[in-house]
Amino acid sequence: MDQPARYAEAWERAIILVDMNAFFASIEQADHPEWQGLPVGITNGLQGTCIITSSYEARAYGIKTGMRLKEARKLCPDIIQCPARPERYAQVSSAIMQALQQITPDIEIFSVDEAFLDVTHCQRLYGHPEKIARQVKKLVYDVSGVLCSVGLSGDKTTAKFAAKHDKPDGLTVIPPWQARERLEDVPVTELCGIAGGIGRHLAKHGAYTCGDVARLPISVLARRFGNPGRRIWYMCQGADPEPLLLNVPPPKSIGHGKVMPPDTRDKEALLLFLLHMGEKVAARLRRHGLQAQTFYVGLRTRDGWLASRQRSVLPTDDGHHVRALCSQFVEQCWHGEGVHQVQVTALDPRPAHGQQDLFTCNDEMQNVNRVMDSVNERYGEFALAPARLLNRSHMPNVIAPAWKPYGHRQTILKEYGTR
Amino acid sequence: MQITISRGALFKPLTYVCSVVEKRQTLPILSNVLLQLNNEGELSMTGTDLEVEVITECPAIKGDAGEISLNARKLLDITRALPEEAEITIISDDSKAVIRSGRSRFTVQTLPVEDFPKIETEQWDQTWTLPVSVFKSALARTSFAMAQQDVRFYLNGLLFDSDGTNMKTVATDGHRLAKTECELSSVLTDESITSIVPRKAVIELLRIIEDGDSEMKVSFNSNHMRVELDSVVFTSKLIDGRFPDYDKVIPSEQSKKLRVEKKAFHDTLTRASILTNEKFRGVRLIVSENKIAVSANNPDQEEAFDELPAEYVGEEIEIGFNVGYMIDAINAIDTDMIEITLEDANSSGTIRAPEDDKTVYIVMPMRL
């Protein structure tokens, strides 16, 4: 293939994946220059005992995510324990994602520390995709002081595969016309989204590498997995057809859970925790203009989850209704078992304010909620809240990997205001 | 027991009985039909799901009086599969029954007749008579608005409301409401009735009642409703609940009144509905001097726009509705023109046939 000539041409499709490595730890190191080059472990608050993530220096000692702090200290006595600051990470993430949007509006924010950019249509503006990729790296560093690894290719899967290659500060380019060849001997389970189950099915057909899969008839995958199966077939040839998801799809559920002191048997305490989670769920439904009618309410006991689905009369976004369902659940299903975790999840969130009802009129509660929401928007979560919540647990919020700087997944309220 | 009956006489009454028998039953006897032959050679068949009971009658060719209970679906499938002119003989034999026709023979299991549940009904408080066609059209005009599996269980049925001279039927799912009123031919007592008949019973009744001018009887007591037709006795439990105050939500005065050709409006809405949000099905109506514009769009930013002439004088109004609710109501009206009255974008719309104050459809708007 005449590569130099093709190099000069515009790519038919050019996708960049940006992956901020050891994101939370890197932010802490950037904010605490004295920690540069030292092993840092992030825990959930000072009381948290579990390593959420750690810096590259700590990983060199064999420290892994999910490890207990105690075990980590055995491997690396000098590890610096740093309580997580979700608001700060959210702020940095938002800043990075916003900066990236200056490069192209075609951006899919894949998680708190990953984003896909489709730069196909910016090649005339910025030049070769590789040049744009370098620009992306520099931009991320300028905005946040955090290093990132970048993968560039002609589709999402190959770009993601490329970004894994050179961590923590790499730039890997796989031109689309080389993608198939580069993936040929790569085990298929190394591609993003192909897990054990699919891998085992493919192994039954004697396909272990991407090249093997590409040689299978597409119908073998389609029969077992339908359209996602067909996509896998293309993914393995470096031709993942999936476009970037530019809009956050509507949520399938919205839930909050919290760990309680072990073996809690006090009904008031249970109801308080459920109320706390219910208010959070309701506030989040309202923030995104959603309502739900079916709620999962669960209490985790030593024997597993004690849980049920509760249905409200009409779709609701009001904490009062959610609390009523929770206490109904406690009355029906809880018989004094010791509980160490609670969960409240809205199972069928859908856009609110659609169809109006003939027989109900709850404008007053809606007004109260609206006021409460605008106060809390300005002064922080639960600045204004039902009085019972004064006694709530003050364990800090946890940031989920699926967090995004906008849309329904934004559970961490901004303290600093990035907009 | 032994009975011989023509397939033609057996088939249709049997389908009525089988339609109330649920496919999956926890009690085996509930998948059965009870056959009873009396000395006059009349065969009666009973099917039940403990909420609804259907008894049909048909003449036998010959037989010995007696009773037997056997699987309803199997008997129906066998009957259906036999040639139309066939004669069917059923002979009970210990715990089995033999069904014969021509050279075909089927041996099926039976269950003890004593185990077959009967809906026990006390005395009837009220019995109405009215023409079959009137009753059927009252159901057809309103039943589509019943709720389905709503948490408010009292909405999953049809309200019969009567002061003794008229019968009102009302259905609502909380978003729309259908109400119609008809005259009763006669009443037995001066008892007024406010009863909710469950959805399943209403749907079955619509299937069973055939058009015609004969009179039928409808009886109520506090727990049950019974409908007696020529050869069918249909009994249903009632829903024990309080139906919402429907009169309160029927607007008495609305300032904007328009008339539009029914078929043209129906077709316009159908076309626009293709590009509505599949889940919420909202369409926007813009009513202005002598025309209605209908527009819809979906989450993929696709749009539909359509327009049709209408008789309207007054200020422009824009209002959103679930297109399915509109089409349901329009389908239930059988005049060429329909009349729509509106107040503002946040108040309900009323649909009716012009000059008809008996039947009315209320639809709550959507915020779009």
* pLDDT for residue A57 is more than 50: yes
Domains of chain A: 254-385 (3.30.1490.100)
Best residue in B242, B243, B280, B283 to probe A by mutation, most A CBs within 10 Å?
B280
How far is residue B293's CA from residue B286's CA, in Å, rounded to a whole number?
Answer: 5
Stretch B312-326: mean pLDDT, rounded? 95
Q: Are residues B161 and B256 in the same domain?
A: no
Same domain, B228 and B139: yes
Q: Which of A354, A357, A360 is opposite residue B280, by nearest beta carbon?
A: A354
User: Are B209 and B120 contacting, i.e. CB atoms less than 8 angstroms apart?
Assistant: no
Which pLDDT does position A44 carry in this prediction?
80
Q: Which helix (H) or strand (E) holds A126?
A: helix A123-126
In a domain, B347, yes or no: yes
Nearest to A145 by CA among A302, A293, A20: A20
Residue A114 annotated to the active site: yes
Higher pLDDT, B279 or A342: A342
Residue from the list A351, A354, A358 with its beta carbon closest to the beta carbon of B249:
A358
User: Does residue B368 fall inside a structural domain?
Assistant: no
- Mean pLDDT, chain A, whole residue set: 84
pLDDT at A381 over 90: no
Binary contact (B151, A354; C-beta < 8 A): no
Q: Which of B172, B249, B364 sits opposite A355 (nearest CB)?
A: B364
Task: Clarify whether residues B295 and B215 are in a common domain.
Answer: no
Look up the pTM and report it. 0.73
| Domain C-terminal end among B201, B226, B247 | B247
Hey, which bits of A14-106 come out as E strands? 15-20, 40-43, 51-54, 80-83
pLDDT score of A406: 54
Contacts of A299 (CB under 8 A, 6+ apart): A270, A305, A306, A307, A330, A333, A334, A337, A339, A341, A342, A343
Mean pLDDT of A153-166: 89
Residues of A in contact with B364 (CB under 8 A): 355-358
B249: its two tokens: 């939500």
Do the Cβ atoms of A296 and A343 come closer than 8 Å? yes
Is the pLDDT at B204 greater than 90? The verdict is yes
- pLDDT value at position B358? 94
Of the three residues B199, B224, B247, the one that is the final residue of a domain is: B247
Which residue in B151, B279, B366 is closest to A356 by CB distance?
A: B366
Residue B120 placed within a domain: no
Nearest CA in chain A to B349: A358
The C-alpha angle A25, A27, A33, rounded to 5 degrees, equals: 95
pLDDT of residue A151: 93
Average pLDDT, chain B: 94
**Cβ(B47)–Cβ(B13) below 8 Å:** no
Angle at A293 between CA A290 and CA A294, to 5 degrees: 120
Q: How far apart are CA B346 and CA B368, in angstroms?
A: 11
The CATH number of the domain holding residue B46 is: 3.10.150.10
Q: B280: which chain A residues are within 8 Å (Cβ-Cβ)?
A: 351, 354-355
Residues B359 and B275 grouped into a single domain: yes
CA dihedral of B172, B175, B176, B181, whole degrees rounded to 10 = 30
- CA distance to partner chain A, nearest, from residue B309 (Å): 27
**Number of domains forming the structure of chain B:** 3
Using the predicted structure, report yes or no on whether residue A248 has a pLDDT greater than 80. Answer: no
Pairing label, strands B66-71, B87-93: unpaired
Name which of B154, B170, B366 to mutate to probe chain A: the one with the most chain A Cβ atoms within 10 A of its Cβ: B366
Site from A294, A309, A313, A356 to mutate, B interface, most B CB atoms within 10 angstroms: A356
Average pLDDT, stretch A21-47?
86
Cβ-defined contact of A311 to B151 (cutoff 8 Å): yes
The amino acid that residue B173 corresponds to is D
Give the gap in angstroms from C-alpha B280 to the nearest C-alpha of chain A. Answer: 7
In this structure, the answer to whether residues B255 and B243 fall within a common structural domain is no
Nearest CA of chain A to the CA of B177: how many Å?
8
Interface of B with A (CB under 8 A): 151-152, 172, 174-177, 244, 249, 279-280, 282, 322, 346, 348, 362, 364-367
Q: Is the pLDDT of residue B156 over 80?
A: yes
Question: Is B121 part of a structural domain of the chain?
Answer: no
- Distance separating alpha carbons of residues A23 and A146, to the nearest angstrom: 8
Nearest to B367 among A313, A314, A353 (CB): A353
Nearest CA in chain A to B177: A358
List A114, A279, A377, A415, catalytic entry? A114
Q: Are residues B237 and B261 in the same domain?
A: no
Q: Which of residues 341-360 of A touch B (CB under 8 A)?
A: 350-351, 353-360
- A412 pLDDT above the threshold of 50: no
Residue at B48 is within a domain: yes
A389 secondary structure, DSSP code: G
Domain of residue B292 covers: 251-363
**Inter-chain residue contact B346 with A358, CB threshold 8 Å:** no
Both B242 and B257 in a single domain?
no
Does B177 lie in the same domain as B89?
A: no
> What average pLDDT does range A184-198 have in this prediction?
85
Chain B contact set for A355 (CB, 8 A): 175, 280, 322, 364, 366
pLDDT at residue number B215: 93
Lowest mean pLDDT across A158-172, A347-361, A371-385, B191-205: A347-361
Residues of B in contact with A354 (CB under 8 A): 280, 282, 366-367
Residue B338 lies inside a defined structural domain of this protein:
yes
Q: What is the pLDDT of residues A274-299, one digit of tens each?
A: 999 999 999 999 888 888 999 999 99
- Give this complex's ipTM: 0.81
Contact A358 B176 (CB under 8 A): yes
- With CB atoms and an 8 Å threshold, state whether B279 touches A353: no
E strand or H helix that includes residue A205: none
Burial class (CB in 10 A: 0-12, 13-18, 19+), B328: middle
The verdict on B103 and B87 lying in the same domain is yes
CA pair distance A16, B6, nearest whole angstrom: 77
A85-107 average pLDDT score? 88
Please state whether B102 falls in left (phi above 0), alpha (psi between -120 and 50) or beta.
Answer: left
B317, B232: one domain:
no
Q: Answer yes or no: do B366 and A358 touch at CB < 8 A.
A: no
The last residue of a domain, from among B115, B149, B164: B115
CB count in 10 Å sphere of residue B248: 9
Q: Are residues B26 and B61 in the same domain?
A: yes
Same domain, B66 and B131: no
Shortest CA gap B180–chain A (Å):
18
Looking at chain A, which residue has its C-alpha nearest residue B362?
Answer: A358
- Measured between beta carbons, which residues in chain B are less than 8 angstroms from residue A311? 151
Q: Which residues of A touch B175 (CB under 8 A)?
A: 355-358
| pLDDT given at position A53 | 87
Q: Which chain A positions have a beta carbon within 8 Å of B360's beta carbon?
A: none
Q: Using one digit for the tens of pLDDT, what is the confidence trace for B226-266?
A: 999 989 999 999 999 999 999 999 998 899 999 999 999 99
Residue A296 has a pLDDT of 94
Query: Residues A303-326: what's their mean pLDDT?
Result: 90
Burial of B172 (0-12, 13-18, 19+ CB in 10 A): buried
Residue A189 has a pLDDT of 87
